[in-house]
Amino acid sequence: MSSVYKVIETRRSVRKYQSRNISYKILWRILNAARWAPSAHNAQPWRFIIIKDSSVKRKLAEAMAREWNKDLSKDVISPQKRERLTKSSVKQFTSAPVLVVVSLTMEEMDKYTDEKRRKAEHVMAIQSVSAAIQNLLLAAHAEGLGACWFCAPLFCPETTREVLEAPESVEPQAVITLGYPAEKPEAPIRKPLDSIIFQNLWVHGE
């Protein structure tokens, strides 16, 4: 098995980290890998904010937790469970040595007057940013780091922008936690190939 396949198949979502520092040299290599992802029109609509400062991590984590608590209150979840969940969320983000907030910008994407193409263009930007995140995760694993992809900013984009003093032209998409692993997650179960692959038409072969 070549090294790239090994990296893909052995990557895991890591949620517990050592307190060990990650050098900027390694972070730059990881983000350089992210920017080599394919993107629609080569617009490269991704933007990254690296957060190592503990006070900024806490401020962001607590702000997102407050918004999550509001959403959870709509789901008939007890106050005790909401508190448990939101506290765990804050701990998850504040205990990671590094957070990378990934956002998209439509600045260099194509502009259209009709809603159908504007929507498609926005989806293409999201797909492009997702490809960059995948590169980031694989590069982090190749560097011996653990990482986990969280979509929390999607539920509170205004709050995320406010905490990070980001302009309205960027749309927060994800928070990636990074650190040297303090756990070794088991391999997740994957669906068999023959259950997800179709040839030529949407029908399974004999």
CATH code of residue 169: 3.40.109.10
Count CB-CB contacts under 10 A for residue 101: 24
**Whole-number pLDDT of residue 173:** 98
> What pLDDT, on the 0 to 100 scale, is given for residue 76?
85
Query: What pLDDT, on a 0 to 100 scale, did the predictor assign at position 75?
Result: 92
How far is CA 197 from each of CA 115, 129, 168, 200, rounded to the nearest angstrom? Answer: 32, 25, 40, 10
Give me the number of domains the chain comprises.
1
User: Going along 57-145, which residue ranges are E strands?
Assistant: 98-105
The maximal CA–CA distance of the chain, rounded, in angstroms, is 59
Is 106 a domain residue? yes
The answer to the question of residue 117 being in a domain is yes
Note whether residue 205 is domain-resident: no
pTM, whole model, 2 decimals? 0.94
In a domain, 200, yes or no: no
* Structural domain that includes position 191: 3-195
| Interacting residues of 111 by C-beta distance below 8 A, sequence separation 6+ | 121
Question: Consecutive sets of 10 residues in the chain, 206 residues long: mean pLDDT of each?
Answer: 87 97 97 98 98 98 97 93 97 98 97 97 98 98 98 98 97 98 95 92 73
Residue 202 forms part of a structural domain: no
pLDDT at 192: 95
Contact (Cβ atoms closer than 8 angstroms) between residue 57 and residue 93: yes
The pLDDT value given to residue 205: 54
Rounded (10°) CA dihedral 162, 125, 97, 90: 50
The SS3 assignment for 182 reads coil
Residue 169 lies in a domain: yes
Q: Considering the domain boundaries, does residue 206 fall inside one?
A: no
Residue 203's pLDDT is 82
Say if CB 140 and CB 147 are below 8 A apart: yes
Q: How far apart are CA 153 and CA 99, in angstroms?
A: 12
Torsion sign (Cα): 59, 63, 65, 69: positive
> What is the pLDDT at residue 2?
63
Residue 203 falls within a domain, yes or no?
no
